[in-house]
Structure 1
């Protein structure tokens, strides 16, 4: 695992989820944020969480019982994933970083391990959907290259996809991986669906191929 970091993006507003921060919503009794951190931690040497300043205290409490190594504040308010990437990548010391959104509680460590291997000769290894859409928030990046690409934009107003255009990117069909790894919780209905998918895991917590 040497040379690998994890960055969990958790600074969203959860507008579609309701009043509660979805990162703190629970799946099988565990907050989504904690579940993601612990899954990512199995394939990396360090894990940090990026979030808005107002989230630091509640997240720190949740993360105290996880493998997280720290919480990093987004420097740009409501800057979206790029703001989290910018702050988070500045805080990690490893040459490669797996980036995962906090609302993907079924992220499969084996997916990240595969992406780490594919990223060795590139700036990024990113899953790609059949419609051509990239999945940049469950992907692996060369830390310095991604940090520099964001810096060249001069702000966090752009999109992650725009940053990727300036990098050497290896894409991998999403269909190569377990579908549940990419299950995204935006609404409470999505959380219920995640609970059903979670029921399909075996007793060791590993996700079986569908």
Structure 2
């Protein structure tokens, strides 16, 4: 049985795609418009959308993504980088939970999402993977109710790791991800020309 065919898999979760800034090391291209096998990274992430109760794009410059017709919000607290992007998703979400995904992650596996979202609980405010001693907060689940406290914390310019330490975070071990995604492809992000070549990603046709 495919739960996606029989009904929404995560009706209580918003898929929030964080567009971030321009890819300065990639000729200024919005990273969600990078292409893999003829599809933009954003389109690849949107293929996951039917599983979720809602979809949201966080983008301070929304024009490059206007053709996708997504509900789009800007950072509520500007100049705070990824922590500010997560905050924008939390305060704009209409569901109890938010799955935050960076727009430069072309290979997110549905099974990785099942592991992540399956680890939620009443005693947890956030769930993310910890790989090689590093947290992966841009493929992570957050309780929407964190929004106000998260926003207040932005005054201090904290890192995502520091923010997670203030809440009830469940850190999943690398082995939990490797069990369903042995090469950890779900965590691949594309930031440099070297990344493009390594992962078969191309700049969009002008």
Normalised TM-score (structure 1)? 0.81
Q: Indicate how the Cα distance of structure 1 residues 14 and 175 shifts in structure 2: closer, same or farther if over 3 A, else same.
A: farther
Compute the displacement of 1:156 (Å): 7.1
**Partner of 2:116 in structure 1?**
115
Q: What is the distance in 2 between the residues matched to 1:72 and 1:83?
A: 12
- Secondary structure of the 2:27 match is coil
Structure 2: 5+ residue stretches without partners: 1-9, 202-206
**Partner of 2:186 in structure 1?**
181
User: Out of 22, 29, 37, which is 2:38 matched to?
Assistant: 29
Q: What is the distance in 1 between the residues matched to 2:63 and 2:154?
A: 29
Counterpart contact for 1:119–1:141, Cα < 8 Å = no
Are 2:65 and 1:56 equivalent residues in the alignment?
Answer: no
Q: What is the distance in 2 between the residues matched to 1:136 and 1:129?
A: 11
Q: What is the distance in 2 between the residues matched to 1:89 and 1:194?
A: 31
- Secondary structure of the 2:135 match is coil
The number of residues matched between the two structures is 186
Runs of 4+ in 1 over 6 A off after TM superposition: none
RMSD of the TM alignment (CA)?
Answer: 1.9
Compute the displacement of 1:44 (Å): 1.3
Q: Indicate how the Cα distance of structure 1 residues 128 and 29 shifts in structure 2: closer, same or farther if over 3 A, else same.
A: same
- Secondary structure of the 1:167 match is coil
**Partner of 1:167 in structure 2?**
167
Q: What is the distance in 2 between the residues matched to 1:42 and 1:187?
A: 30
Compute the displacement of 1:75 (Å): 3.1
Q: Indicate how the Cα distance of structure 1 residues 77 and 168 shifts in structure 2: closer, same or farther if over 3 A, else same.
A: closer
Q: What is the distance in 2 between the residues matched to 1:105 and 1:2?
A: 23
Compute the displacement of 1:88 (Å): 1.6
- Secondary structure of the 1:106 match is coil
Counterpart contact for 1:126–1:139, Cα < 8 Å = yes
Normalised TM-score (structure 2)? 0.82
Compute the displacement of 1:173 (Å): 1.6
Q: Indicate how the Cα distance of structure 1 residues 119 and 72 shifts in structure 2: closer, same or farther if over 3 A, else same.
A: same
Are 2:55 and 1:47 equivalent residues in the alignment?
Answer: yes
Q: What is the distance in 1 between the residues matched to 2:25 and 2:175?
A: 27
Compute the displacement of 1:154 (Å): 4.8
